[in-house]
């Protein structure tokens, strides 16, 4: 059984000391940060979001984390994909505020990476971002939320999708062996698919036929999720292959570090149905849960998903066309049709940790 520390967002008293940032400080004090990080470069891997998103991890918490790593003698830097760093300041992330530099993980032109073999189906190798590969230690600092592609987006997704180049991200998505189908009869030509495509891969021909440029497509599935008519269909038979690929890439990345130099922290707050890469935020679908942390990525992910409960769903929080389907399974499965636990199962199979955990609450 792995230990997972939990700082609840619920306040038992009206004192700053009973609030989540204060509990976060106490949670971090439970770890031997000096042993883990003294004299080491520490990559704090975040998802800094995009455009008008406002539900990524608040700079208040990032600053606390940076300060604690510095106090332990570590040399922290914040990092994310090349695409997210230039606009991070729009969402309050600056070196001045956070206390550490913000570095594009694969360099300014995505040309700084280390290629490592994976050899899983069509994914022969993966390009791990250079700033991650060269760091001595890592804190995987993730905002937990729903995800149209894999049900849950937390630490595993933060590593597998966020610590690799765009090219490798496309390679992992392609494991789904995705086929698109478009139903002209259902389509009302609202163009939400086009407007939500981050790769500009959707065009409508002169006769209003939808065309997807698979060369540019990043397989993010935003188009299918955004379509209010369900006119775009995706073959998701390769879903487990995709989750297995994410687990294998996560393993490859974590193998670059000494085992006792990686910490996983999930914020299960502002749990939106979508990933932060959409460039906007919608209301939280459940009340804030809190912060979970540990040195076993599978246990932290499993505990985080367990704490998002269908009975806590906030009515009216889902943007059209999403809704809670009347099917078995986790709340995120009812919303996205994807079992969020699949990635935990595959990560456990890959030897990354245990789905069994003990939760210890921080007072």
CA distances in angstroms from 230 to 192, 200, 211, listed in the order given: 12, 20, 16
Told to check if 150 binds ligand SF4 by CB under 6 A, we report: no
Q: What is the DSSP letter of 164?
A: B
Residues 6+ apart with CB under 8 A from 296: 2, 3, 4, 264, 352, 353, 354, 357
> Which one of 222, 251, 261, 338 is in contact with ligand SF4 (CB under 6 A)?
222
Told to check if 251 binds ligand SF4 by CB under 6 A, we report: no
Beta-sheet pairing, 357-361 with 2-8: parallel
- Give Rg (Cα) of the chain: 20
Residues 6+ apart with CB under 8 A from 163: 45, 105, 128, 129, 132, 253
Told to check if 193 binds ligand SF4 by CB under 6 A, we report: yes
Residues 6+ apart with CB under 8 A from 267: 57, 61, 141, 142, 143, 144, 291
Told to check if 191 binds ligand SF4 by CB under 6 A, we report: yes
If the CB atoms of residues 78 and 210 are measured against ligand SF4, the closer one turns out to be 210
> Which one of 137, 164, 231, 331 is in contact with ligand SF4 (CB under 6 A)?
231
> Which one of 67, 229, 317, 354 is in contact with ligand SF4 (CB under 6 A)?
229
Told to check if 47 binds ligand SF4 by CB under 6 A, we report: no
If the CB atoms of residues 40 and 145 are measured against ligand SF4, the closer one turns out to be 145
> Which one of 88, 174, 217, 347 is in contact with ligand SF4 (CB under 6 A)?
217
- Choices 103-111, 223-231, 262-270, 311-319 (CB under 6 A): range interacting with ligand SF4: 223-231
Told to check if 188 binds ligand SF4 by CB under 6 A, we report: yes
Told to check if 239 binds ligand SF4 by CB under 6 A, we report: no
Helix (H, G, I), strand (E, B) or coil at 20: helix
DSSP 288-343: --EEEEES-HHHHHHHHHHTS-GGG--TT-SPTT----S-SS-HHHHHHSS-TTHH
Total residues in contact with ligand SF4, by rule CB under 6 A: 26
Residue 169 C-beta: closest distance to ligand SF4, Å:
11
Told to check if 212 binds ligand SF4 by CB under 6 A, we report: yes
Rounded CA gap, 249 and 253, in Å? 6
Told to check if 167 binds ligand SF4 by CB under 6 A, we report: no
- Choices 8-16, 47-55, 213-221, 310-318 (CB under 6 A): range interacting with ligand SF4: 213-221
Told to check if 322 binds ligand SF4 by CB under 6 A, we report: no
Told to check if 221 binds ligand SF4 by CB under 6 A, we report: yes
Task: Kindly report the backbone phi and psi dihedral angles of residue 290, in degrees, each rounded to the nearest multiple of 5, phi listed first.
Answer: 145, -150
Residue 104 C-beta: closest distance to ligand SF4, Å:
21
If the CB atoms of residues 229 and 317 are measured against ligand SF4, the closer one turns out to be 229
Helix axes 20-28, 59-71, angle to 10 degrees: 30
Residue 121 C-beta: closest distance to ligand SF4, Å:
20
Rounded CA gap, 232 and 182, in Å? 5
If the CB atoms of residues 42 and 176 are measured against ligand SF4, the closer one turns out to be 176
Residues 6+ apart with CB under 8 A from 243: 150, 342, 343, 345, 346
- Choices 101-109, 228-236, 258-266, 297-305 (CB under 6 A): range interacting with ligand SF4: 228-236
By CB under 6 A, name the binding residues for ligand SF4. 187-193, 197-199, 201-202, 210, 212, 217-223, 226-227, 229, 231-232
């Amino acid at each position: 059984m792995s230990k997972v520390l939990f700082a609840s967002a619920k306040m038992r008293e009206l004192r700053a000391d009973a609030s989540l940032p204060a509990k976060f400080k106490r949670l971090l004090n439970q770890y031997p940060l000096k042993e883990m990080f003294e004299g080491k470069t520490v990559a704090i891997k975040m998802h800094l979001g995009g455009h008008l998103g406002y539900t990524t991890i608040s700079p208040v918490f990032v600053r606390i984390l940076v300060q604690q790593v510095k106090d332990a003698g570590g040399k922290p830097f914040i990092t994310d994909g090349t695409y997210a760093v230039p606009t991070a300041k729009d969402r309050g992330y600056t070196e001045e505020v956070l206390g550490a530099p913000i570095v594009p993980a694969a360099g300014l032109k995505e040309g700084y990476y280390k290629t490592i073999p994976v050899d899983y189906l069509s994914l022969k190798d993966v390009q791990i971002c250079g700033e991650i590969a060269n760091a001595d230690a890592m804190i995987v600092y993730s905002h937990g939320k729903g995800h149209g592609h894999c049900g849950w987006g937390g630490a595993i997704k933060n590593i597998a999708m966020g610590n690799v180049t765009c090219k490798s991200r496309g390679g992992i998505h392609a494991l789904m062996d995705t086929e698109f189908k478009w139903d002209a009869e259902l389509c009302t030509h609202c163009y939400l698919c086009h407007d939500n495509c981050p790769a500009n891969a959707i065009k409508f021909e002169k006769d209003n036929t939808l065309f997807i440029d698979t060369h540019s497509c990043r397989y993010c599935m935003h188009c299918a999720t955004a379509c209010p008519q369900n006119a775009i269909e995706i073959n998701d038979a390769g879903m487990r292959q995709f989750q297995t690929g994410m687990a294998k890439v996560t393993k490859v990345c974590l193998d670059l570090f000494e085992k006792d130099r990686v910490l996983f922290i999930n914020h299960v707050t502002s749990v939106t149905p979508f990933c932060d890469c959409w460039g906007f935020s919608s209301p939280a679908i459940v009340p804030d849960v809190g912060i979970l942390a540990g040195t076993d990525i599978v246990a932290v992910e499993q505990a985080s998903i367990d704490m998002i409960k269908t009975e806590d769903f906030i009515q009216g929080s889902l943007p059209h066309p999403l809704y809670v389907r009347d099917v078995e399974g986790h709340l995120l499965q009812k919303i996205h049709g994807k079992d969020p636990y699949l990635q935990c199962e595959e990560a456990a199979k890959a030897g990354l940790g245990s789905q069994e955990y003990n939760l210890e609450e921080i007072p």
